[in-house]
Structure 1
Amino acid sequence: MIYLLSPLVKKGTISLPMISFSLTTNKIDFSRCDTLMFTSKQAVVSAESIDKRWKNYPSVAIGRATKKKIEELGGEVIYYPKEFYGKSLAEDIKEKFSDRTLLYLRPKEVSFDSKGYLAKEGIELQEQIIYETSCQRYEESDAPLKNAIIIFTSPSTIKCFFENFSWDRSYTAILIGKATKEHLPDYCEYVVADVPLIDSCIEKAKEISKNSDIC
């Protein structure tokens, strides 16, 4: 069985959402920026709910799903790094946007300190928290069955999973990207999706399931 821990419901998976989202503000301060930065599609959705004027500003999109959501909602992506890893991201932003004032629209908790890392490179990154995530609560009886394939779509889904359940040695984790991998306990067996998208995670899970059936 394939369990998807995202709030999204996808065909061919068992929905076991680990997180819920809520807005933390009703306005965005655009007064000191000329460019926005998003590191998740939920941040884009939240910005759209708060103030549709975000689309008047070009955006730096971290992650393919983030880029896709910005464009779906009518925004402009002027930079899309292939990977989101500290030093290379900071160097790229320093090279391409040293003359711009970036505003990072972010969740309350982040897995990577973008502001601090960019500050080391002499880049001032403004931030505004616009949403937060909360863990869903489950009973132990709701835990995935043995031999389950479990799709983790963010560090938050990992955190919330382990607040609810223990890891069974028969489980296999599918991770949406390398950044998510850093938050998974070392004792968990895992595979990283070929592309950092939920659909790619599902494809990888189905491959593993099929191969297990053959064996």
Structure 2
Amino acid sequence: MREIVLINSKEDPKVKTLVVNKIELLPIKKSIVEQHIDLYRIEKSVDALIFTSRYAVKSLVKNMQEYPELEVFRQIPAFVIGENTAQKLESAGFKVEYIGLDSHGAGFSSEIIPLLKNRKPLYFRAKKIVSGLDVKLAEAKIKLKQIIAYENKTNIVDKTFKPLPRSILIFTAPSHYLAFKQNFGWDGSYSAVAIGMTTFGVFDSEVEGFVSPAQSIDSCIEFAKELALKLP
């Protein structure tokens, strides 16, 4: 049976994992001030939060622990692209107003644009994004403010860790696919499972790619196991 390898930014005990990225959580207090948001009257400038990654949530929570004045963010309703990120927000005491039906950034933007008319959203995001969410909202005249909450950095991995031919590789973010290619290139015998449409969208045309039925690592693993039994 084909080997299954999770390409990720941290180890997962349930499956063989290749760590090709590291996540750096960034300080955000200065960025908030630069967006002309009064730290002691945040709710006057922001009435909606946008998250497309659990790392953005993790970064905000870490910064809140250092700066109590940021605690008000827990009371501002959030618009979230995925169920997992929504769960992380709720477990941290945040209010979730909307969970996207579409796991692709373009689809998510179309869903939330009508909901954000006349709102003042603040988007906590990665340093580099591929979804184009910020552009779509700007084109729709949404008064969007953005905070770079984390950065995805590529690890240089020893070539001996390159997965075997015919492996099924699971990618949980566009940056993981790009970092994998930077390290190992691409073997045409590989098959790839994307956690969502945004990740699937960065696959090159020669990649035999599939999208997980549900947007979670566990679902990706189960789907990859099914593919391993079905693929020749």
TM-score by length of 2: 0.84
5+ residue gaps, structure 1: none
Distance 1:16 1:134 in 2: 14
Residue identity opposite 1:45 in structure 2: K
Equivalent of residue 46 in structure 2, options 23, 33, 58: 33
Does the CA contact (< 8 Å) of 2:103 and 2:197 recur in 1? Answer: no
**Mapped contact 1:178–1:192 kept (Cα < 8 A):** yes
Which residue of structure 2 aligns with residue 141 of structure 1? 160
- Once residues 21 and 192 of structure 2 are traced to their aligned partners in structure 1, the CA distance between those partners, rounded to angstroms, is 17
Q: Distance in 2 between matches of 1:20 and 1:89?
A: 26
Q: 2:190 corresponds to which residue?
A: 171
Task: Mark the CA change 1:86 to 1:121 in structure 2 (over 3 Å): closer, same or farther.
Answer: farther
Once the two structures are superposed, what CA deviation does each residue of 1:160-199 show, in whole Å capped at 9, x if it has no partner?
A: 0011002112211111111111111111112111111111
Q: Contact between 1:86 and 1:117, CA under 8 Å: does it hold in 2? A: no
Deviation (angstroms), 1:86: 5.8
CA distance in 2, matches of 1:149, 1:87: 27
| 2:165 matches 1:152 | no
Give distance in 1, aligned partners of 2:158 and 2:141: 47
Offset, 1:134:
0.2
Query: 2:68 maps to what in 1?
Result: none
SS class of match (1:190):
strand
Task: Supply the AA of the counterpart residue of 2:64.
Answer: D
Shift of 1:33: 0.9
Percent identity reads 31
Mark the CA change 1:2 to 1:68 in structure 2 (over 3 Å): closer, same or farther: same
Q: SS state of the match for residue 148, structure 2?
A: strand
Q: Does 1:42 align with 2:61?
A: no
Runs (4 or more) in structure 1 with deviation over 6 Å come to none
Post-superposition shift, 1:91?
Answer: 4.3
Match of 2:141 among 102, 110, 122: 122
Matched residue type, 2:189: S
- Which TM-score applies when normalising by structure 1? 0.91
Q: Choose from 209, 212, 215 the match for 1:190.
A: 209
Partner Cα separation in structure 1 for residue 105 and residue 98 of structure 2 = 16
How large is the Cα RMSD of the aligned pairs?
Answer: 1.9
For residue 99 of structure 1, give the secondary structure of its aligned residue in structure 2. Answer: coil
Deviations 1:37-81 (A, max 9, x none): 111011101111111513122111112221121112121100112
Provide the rounded CA distance (Å) in 2 between the counterparts of 1:190 and 1:89: 21
Q: Alpha-carbon deviation of 1:110?
A: 0.6
Tell me how many residue pairs correspond in the alignment: 213
